[in-house]
């Protein structure tokens, strides 16, 4: 069974590139996130090729996975970055990104974050509040910067076909500005002389099920800037979906590109993909602690939980579960659950899995996006180690060591 070009079974052993996951898990312990840098690079190259007709600039959305190793890989491949905090900007700069290739988005940027971003000379601000313009302008005056590039984020009032928690473009969402406010800002642009109003931004959600809402959002954005000769950049945001089920095909963006291309002639196009670059490059390896049969159910209690991977609890998300060692024979319907004291701490429901026992290892698949970046210390659980398999696919290293219980006291006074 092949999951993708980097993750597959070799001799009944789940492998990532040329390394058996078992080898890594025995060495670093569990739970552990393991990423294929090769797959990240291939996803980036594939997306660039698919969007070549638009000559789109790709800004990786850092919140999907802010591991320095991944940021370095993407910076090395020429990607720009989409950040939503000063912390993410700092990480990108540390990973070797060029400040000019960073866009800063977010509905609640603090003044300190704006000052930091202006001082670093980042490429773009995606603006979502009227008052934010004054802050950016003041910071630009202080820093002696001018022509700070701004893209106004339109709330296009379209409802994306995705989980409600991942939809950001409908009228009731906190994100973006209405078309009326954007028109008002553009009419008053002289009030912010340090700013260059050069772009429009849309991002209507994540894991988008079809392209219809994206196209209607784009049409609304293009309609809005039709009489604005100074606005030549359209930032389409992220949202490209990935396949979370074994029997799904990874959706190809080519249909979307064909629809976008005629509309975007003459515009510079930016993209902010997160999930689609990293999700299928990573997995979370866990050990089965207990098998508990109760009330007609079989619970596989593993040492990973909603603290390490919150997506099932937060979005009812589906992650396939793959045993590290493939066995034939009987399967059971199992509830794969974690140790955390919450009924929502179910990582996978009603799965047909082989009969496993304590000490067996399993992988939660397609966990490279919104996995470790959303992990918490809930239940005083140290966050897991992160391991990267090199771009050549031969070697691996711990890119972030496992936290210790001692680490959890570091910021606390008695």
Q: Which is nearer to ligand PLP, 123 or 273 (CB)?
A: 273
Spatial separation of the C-alpha atoms in residues 135 and 37, rounded to whole Å = 38
CA dist 57 to 43, 60, 159, 161, 237, Å?
A: 15, 10, 26, 25, 11
Judged by beta carbon, residue 84 or residue 301, the one nearer ligand PLP is 84
Tell me the closest approach of the beta carbon of residue 203 to ligand PLP, in angstroms: 4
Residue 177 is classified by DSSP as B
Min separation Cβ 96 and ligand PLP, Å: 21
Between 113 and 345, name the residue whose CB sits nearer to ligand PLP.
113
**Residue whose C-alpha is closest to residue 366's, from 291, 290, 312, 328:** 312
State yes or no: cis peptide before 31, omega within 30 of 0: yes
323 within 8 A of 353, measured Cβ to Cβ: yes
32 sits in which H/E element: strand 32-36
Min CB(65)–ligand PLP separation in Å: 9
Q: In whole angstroms, how close is the CB of 88 to ligand PLP at the nearest point?
A: 11
Nearer to ligand PLP, 212 or 392 (CB): 212
CB of residue 356 to ligand PLP, shortest distance in Å: 32
User: Which one, of 258, 255, 338, lies nearest residue 301 by Cα?
Assistant: 338
Q: How near is the Cβ of 221 to ligand PLP at its closest, in Å?
A: 14
Residues that bind ligand PLP (CB under 6 A): 61, 63-64, 82, 105, 203, 206, 237-240, 272-276
Q: How many helices (H) and strands (E) does the chain have?
A: 11, 20
What is the residue-wise DSSP string for 328-370? -S-EEEEEEE-SSSSTT-EEEEEEEEE---TT-EEEE-S-SSS
Structure tokens at 48: 């660039």
Cα gap 325→33, rounded to integer Å: 18
CB 232 within 8 Å of CB 198: yes
Alpha helix (H) ranges present in 121-168? 130-143
- The neighbour count for residue 27, using CB atoms within 10 Å, is 12
Could you say which DSSP state residue 266 is in? T
Give Cβ neighbours of residue 414 (< 8 Å, ≥ 6 apart). none
Of 58 and 361, the one with the shorter C-beta distance to ligand PLP is 58
Which of 83, 98, 139, 341 is labelled catalytic?
341
* Residue 394 to residue 100: CA distance in whole angstroms: 33
For ligand PLP, the closer CB: 25 or 177? 177
Beta bridge partners of 334: 298, 351
- 139 catalytic per annotation: no
Backbone angles phi, psi at 110, to 5 degrees: -80, 165
For ligand PLP, the closer CB: 272 or 287: 272
Give the nearest distance from C-beta 82 to ligand PLP in angstroms: 5
Could you list the active site residues?
341
């Amino acid at each position: 069974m092949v999951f993708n070009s980097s993750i597959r079974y070799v001799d009944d052993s789940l492998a990532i590139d040329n390394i058996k996951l078992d080898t890594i898990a025995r060495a670093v312990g569990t739970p552990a996130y393991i990423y294929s840098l090769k797959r990240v690079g291939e996803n980036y190259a594939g997306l660039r090729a698919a969007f070549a007709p638009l000559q789109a600039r790709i800004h990786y959305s850092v919140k999907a996975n802010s591991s320095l190793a991944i940021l370095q890989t993407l910076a090395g491949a020429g990607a720009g970055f989409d950040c939503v905090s000063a912390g993410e900007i700092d990480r990108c700069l540390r990973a070797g990104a060029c400040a000019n290739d960073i866009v800063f988005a977010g509905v609640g940027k603090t003044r300190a974050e704006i000052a930091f971003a202006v001082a670093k000379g980042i490429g773009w601000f995606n603006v979502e509040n009227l008052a934010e313009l004054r802050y950016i302008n003041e910071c630009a005056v202080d820093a002696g910067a001018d022509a700070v590039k701004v893209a106004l984020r339109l709330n296009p009032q379209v409802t994306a076909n995705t989980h409600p928690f991942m939809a950001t473009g409908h009228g009731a969402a906190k994100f973006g500005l209405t078309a009326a406010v954007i028109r008002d800002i553009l009419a008053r642009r002289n009030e912010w002389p340090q700013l260059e109003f050069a772009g429009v931004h849309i991002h209507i959600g994540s894991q988008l099920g079809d392209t219809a809402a994206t196209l209607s959002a784009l049409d609304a954005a293009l309609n809005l800037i039709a009489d604005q000769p100074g606005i030549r950049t359209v930032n389409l945001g992220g949202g490209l979906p990935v396949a979370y089920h074994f029997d799904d095909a990874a959706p190809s963006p080519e249909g979307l590109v064909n629809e976008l291309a005629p509309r975007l002639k003459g515009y510079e196009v930016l993209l902010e993909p997160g999930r689609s670059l990293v999700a299928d490059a990573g997995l979370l390896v866990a050990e089965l602690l207990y098998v508990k049969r109760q009330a007609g159910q079989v619970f596989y209690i593993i040492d990973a939980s909603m603290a390490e991977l919150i997506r099932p609890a937060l979005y009812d998300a589906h992650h396939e579960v793959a045993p590290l060692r493939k066995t034939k024979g009987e399967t059971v319907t199992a509830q794969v659950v974690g140790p955390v004291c919450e009924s929502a701490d179910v990582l996978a429901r009603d799965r047909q899995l082989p009969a496993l026992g304590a000490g067996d290892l399993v992988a939660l698949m397609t966990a490279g996006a919104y996995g470790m970046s959303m992990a918490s210390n809930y239940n005083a659980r140290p966050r897991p180690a992160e391991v990267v398999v090199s771009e050549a696919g031969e070697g691996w290293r711990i890119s972030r060591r496992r936290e210790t219980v001692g680490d959890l006291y570091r910021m606390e006074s008695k």
